[in-house]
Structure formats: structure tokens, C-alpha cells
Amino acid sequence: MKKFAIIAAIDQNMGIGKDGRLPWYLPEDLKYFSKITKHSDKEGQQNAVIMGRNTWESIPAKYKPLPGRFNVVLTSNPDLDLPEGVLIFGSLDEALTALSTSKKIDQLFVIGGARLYADAIVHDHLDRLYLTRIEGDYECDTFFPEEIPDEFDVISATDILEDEGIEYSFVVLDRK
């Protein structure tokens, strides 16, 4: 089974969403998300973004499926109506097993939501975290798992950046 990464934006209280949406608008974070999840060094391959059904539904229609990546939705409803080419699986392990054997797929990214992050953060095949740490409390109602496991170390972090009054930094952690 292939290793995979998590990518998430979190506020100071580990909040990731409010009312089914991102509680902030950070164009640079959206560009960062796109760059990280699209980039592949392997010619002829694309990355896959793995998300729960609620995350899929929170993406504005004009951006679905996310371009330049294989879109994977995890749901207990195998009859969920999805556009052609969007893959559907019942669990993270089922998706990882199937995607690991594809010659068309390079890297795997878990992109949310909360339940999927909770499963992914403790998974043996998780090897990297891409976190956008957003300063402040955005009164979120959806959260990233409380703790980053001790076996992850920061390998890079930007200085505090600012956009439209929002301070944030990009942090990458790898499993020791």
C-alpha cells in the first residue's frame, strides 16, 4: 500500500470548517493547496485527492471535480451520484489499496473532512502533513483531530504571512 499525505488548513483551535464551508478566504492557501496536490514528478501520472462526501459537497460546483487530479470520494452510499471519472470507495483502506495499484496515480492526498482526517492521522501509511496554520479563532464547528502524533517532526515552516488581515504559515511535517 502506498504512503499518503494529509493537507489541511487549521485555525489555532484546530478548526477546519464552519457551516459546511471554510471559515476564511485565503487565496494564497488555495493556490498552495492546488500546487501541492497537482504536482507530480512522474510523467503521465496524476495525484489523487481523497475526501469524504461532505467535503465533496462543500466544493463549489464550478470547481468539481478538482481539475488535474483524480478525485476520490469516500461514502457509505455506493449509489451516490458523482460525475464521470470521480472514484467512489467505502473506506480509506479500500481507496488506498485500489489507488496503490494504479500506474496512473503518483501521490495520494487526504483533503478532509473531520472524520476522514481522524482515520488518516493514525494510519500507518500516513507519512506527511501539509498544514496551513491560521492565526486566530474562527468559531469553527468542524475540527481536525486534536493532536498531531508525536512521531511527526516539522521539516519546514514559513514565517508568518498575512493576507487581508489574516495571518498564517505553511508547515510541513514528516513521520520520523
pLDDT 10s digits, 37-75: 999 999 999 999 999 999 999 999 999 999 999 999 999
The grid cell for 137 is 479563532
Question: Model pTM?
Answer: 0.96
Please report the pLDDT score of residue 164 as a whole number.
Answer: 87
Q: What are the two backbone dihedrals, phi and then psi, of residue 173, each rounded to the nearest 5 degrees?
A: -125, 140
User: Which residue from 104, 105, 96 is spatially nearest to 127, judged by alpha carbons?
Assistant: 96
Q: Which residues of the chain have pLDDT under 70?
A: none
Q: How far apart are CA 47 and CA 165, in angstroms?
A: 32
What is the structure's pLDDT at 78? Answer: 86
**Cell triple for 59:** 466544493
CB 153 within 8 A of CB 172: no
Say what the pLDDT of residue 147 is: 86
CATH number for the region 4-175 comes to: 3.40.430.10
pLDDT number for residue 97: 97
